[in-house]
Chains A and B, each alone.
Chain A
């Protein structure tokens, strides 16, 4: 069916549209205010939600900052404090700490001995020092 395409129905639509164009200024103003009020109600409804997000974000940042301030400052790079406390190495967050394994620390502790061996010409092959088994 296409009753809705009949000429008299098109004329009906035209008349109805014309009636909306004939609305007086006061009515149009009231409609405008009603629309603005509806949109404002949405803004009011969303505002507390966005405020809540902002407060939550600020709180999270403050908490992260507080935690960061409470941690001890990192040791200066020139101070090998970790050598005095090898156990602390594995608990550090710095990935570079993994470069210093416990066996290597023994090598540095016995460094004087290896220097003496070297000066006496008794050092082992340079490619494979074994600090755990001195000659």
Chain B
């Protein structure tokens, strides 16, 4: 295989990888910033930066590296919003703070499966995910949806594996609380 063929082959692989990840990336960005247009800009910028910096890396490394770039842009977006005073409260909200009412069990609560089974299930889930602090939401989406393991998620989030586990544990706890007591 000539070098030109190798370049072409890499482009085919890149196209396949980006095509596979782009929709989830858009939804993750949208859940992170709450705006479709802003989310699209973040994904577009992440694609360009990812291809520029990491295209020549082994394809097995692409997923955590792409999400690292996207996560970085999402964090920057939140920082800019903070500077402009249009900041989402949840990003700064201390993970240990909580609404005391959240710990009260509602006997009529249908549970997470019930809440996620109705016509409005998607909207309910979006609301619950958007209410999570940024890092918890990222840990949840990367681990549960994107399917990255703890190590790859740590690379994507630029933190330790222990932090990933902590963020994920808190995210699961909060989601269970918001979506209903899980049994």
Interface residue ranges, A against B (CB under 8 Å): 3-4, 6-9, 11-13, 15-21, 23, 27-28, 30-31, 34-35, 37-39, 41-43, 45-46, 50
Main secondary structure of the interface of B (DSSP, over half): helix
- Contact call B7/A46, Cβ cutoff below 8 A: yes
User: Cβ of A20: which chain B residues have Cβ within 8 Å of it?
Assistant: 23-24, 26-27
User: Cβ of A6: which chain B residues have Cβ within 8 Å of it?
Assistant: 182
Kindly provide the distance from the CB of B154 to the nearest chain A CB, expressed in whole angstroms: 16
- Contact call A31/B23, Cβ cutoff below 8 A: yes
Interface residue ranges, B against A (CB under 8 Å): 4, 7, 11, 14-15, 18-19, 22-24, 26-27, 36, 40, 43-44, 47-48, 50-52, 55, 111-113, 116-117, 121-122, 125-126, 141, 143-145, 172, 175, 179, 182
- Contact call A35/B7, Cβ cutoff below 8 A: no
How far, in angstroms, from A4 to B125 measured CA to CA in the complex? 16
| Residue of B with least CB distance to A45 | B52
How far, in angstroms, from A12 to B36 measured CA to CA in the complex? 21
Top 5 nearest A-B pairs (CB, nearest first) are A8-B112, A20-B23, A38-B47, A34-B44, A38-B51
- Contact call A39/B116, Cβ cutoff below 8 A: no
Kindly provide the distance from the CB of B125 to the nearest chain A CB, expressed in whole angstroms: 5
24 inter-chain pairs at a CB distance below 8 angstroms, sorted by A residue, are A6-B182, A8-B113, A8-B116, A9-B144, A11-B112, A16-B125, A17-B145, A19-B27, A19-B126, A20-B24, A21-B23, A27-B26, A28-B23, A31-B40, A34-B22, A34-B43, A34-B47, A35-B47, A38-B18, A39-B14, A41-B52, A42-B51, A42-B52, A42-B55
- Contact call B23/A41, Cβ cutoff below 8 A: no
User: Cβ of B36: which chain A residues have Cβ within 8 Å of it?
Assistant: 27
- Contact call A12/B116, Cβ cutoff below 8 A: yes
Main secondary structure of the interface of A (DSSP, over half): helix
How far, in angstroms, from A27 to B27 measured CA to CA in the complex? 11
User: Cβ of B11: which chain A residues have Cβ within 8 Å of it?
Assistant: 39, 42-43
User: Cβ of B112: which chain A residues have Cβ within 8 Å of it?
Assistant: 8, 11
User: Cβ of A23: which chain B residues have Cβ within 8 Å of it?
Assistant: 23, 26
How far, in angstroms, from A46 to B8 measured CA to CA in the complex? 11
The one of B14, B44, B122 that contacts A19, using a Cβ cutoff of 8 Å = B122
- Contact call A35/B18, Cβ cutoff below 8 A: yes
